[in-house]
Structure 1
Amino acid sequence: MTLIRRERDGDRDAVHALHTAAFAGLPHASGGEADLVDALRGTAAWDPRHSLVAEVDGEAAGHVLSTYGTVGEARVLGLGPIGVDPALHRRGIGSALMHAALAAADACGEPAVILLGDPAFYGRFGFVPAADHGVVPEHPEWGPYFQIRTLSAWDEGLRGTFAYAPPFSEFG
């Protein structure tokens, strides 16, 4: 059984190891995903309500993080990284983390969650091209991979360029 819960202080090493393993050798990975999570802790972008751990048999099996970026002056969540222990792939852990991250964001009154990823994969979670809602990436080459999932508190007036938290430019 998979339990999704907030990250605890004692999870840091396990979360780091999870992201290191989850992104090892992937063509789209920067290799800095684990260091990015560490760098985001303690910044203004970090909110512990949006750092979630998947636990299987009492052990950390996956992690998802959403941190605050901006669209103009508005704070908007950017999701990522999300990683699952490669030995536990295809068990629904990543999907459970994604659903929990979206539910947590909606419950906290966030207007949207933004991510950079494969539209064919993230579309099943309700993500669409962010440009459809007037939100564009800092890097135009991200094109259709830059996506948004609007939530209950979405405001159609929220438009502009999304900027990830500063550590993303160093590690992302």
Structure 2
Amino acid sequence: MTIRKEEEKDHKKVFQLIEEAFRNMEHSDHQEHFLVEKLRKSDAFIPELSLVAEDEQGEITGHILFTKIKIDNGPESYESLALAPVSVKPEFQNKGVGGKLILQGHAIARELGYSSIILIGHENYYPRFGYEKTSNFGISFPFDIPEENGMAIELTENGLKNKKGVVKYPKEFGID
């Protein structure tokens, strides 16, 4: 399996992959593929952090996107990243594709100077990559979610130390 930066020629395949990956997901609004399209055109987009996984035949089996977000604390705000979404073709799920995308994304984000990532996800999946509850860092969301589903990781030592606040998503997420 190869992980590489997504290219413009991949967009149509990635759109279909994301739709397929979330089609039967219970906790989904089934709009993830449209969100990725909007985010690619936004100021929050970081081309180096839109990654695809390819199998030996060059077929795209997965995609991950990290975009810029803020942690807002009134007078101060701190830059972070959102991991949303990670998508794997159904027939390749539970084979390590998502995990490889996550770990490669962490490495690239660290190289680019980012110190943290925040996500909303499954409480039994993301902790294996070092994610813990955002509440441990004093970080909350602008909407109600179960506490165990809001997670963050420090990419650098103390990457979230004293960076308490509310996650502020880019307008493309449709969250005010």
Give the TM-score normalised by structure 1.
Answer: 0.93
- 1:91-143 deviation digits (Å, cap 9, x = unpaired): 21111111111111112111100000111111100000011012111113342
Judge conservation of contact 1:116–1:142 (CA < 8 Å) in 2.
Answer: no
Match of 1:164 in 2: 169
Match of 1:133 in 2: 137
Match of 2:60 in 1: 60
Out of 114, 119, 122, the position equivalent to 2:118 is: 114
Paired AA for residue 111 in structure 2: A
Out of 86, 89, 93, the position equivalent to 1:89 is: 93
Secondary structure of 2:67's partner?
A: strand
Paired AA for residue 92 in structure 2: L
Paired AA for residue 169 in structure 1: G
Judge conservation of contact 2:116–2:160 (CA < 8 Å) in 1.
Answer: no
Query: Which runs of no fewer than 5 residues in structure 2 stay unpaired?
Result: none
Structure 1 residue 24, shift from structure 2 partner: 0.3
Paired AA for residue 46 in structure 1: F
Equivalent positions of 1:19-98 (< 5 A) are 19-56=18-55, 57-72=57-72, 73-98=77-102
Judge conservation of contact 1:109–1:152 (CA < 8 Å) in 2.
Answer: no
Higher relative helix content: 1
Secondary structure of 1:14's partner?
A: helix
User: d(CA) in 2 for partners of 1:45 and 1:52?
Assistant: 15
User: d(CA) in 2 for partners of 1:111 and 1:135?
Assistant: 15
User: d(CA) in 2 for partners of 1:155 and 1:83?
Assistant: 26
Equivalenced residue count is 169
Paired AA for residue 130 in structure 2: G
Indicate the RMSD between aligned Cα atoms, in angstroms: 1.3
2:101 is equivalent to residue 104 of structure 1: no
Identity %: 30
Secondary structure of 2:124's partner?
A: helix
Give the TM-score normalised by structure 2.
Answer: 0.91
Paired AA for residue 130 in structure 1: T
Structure 1 residue 67, shift from structure 2 partner: 0.5
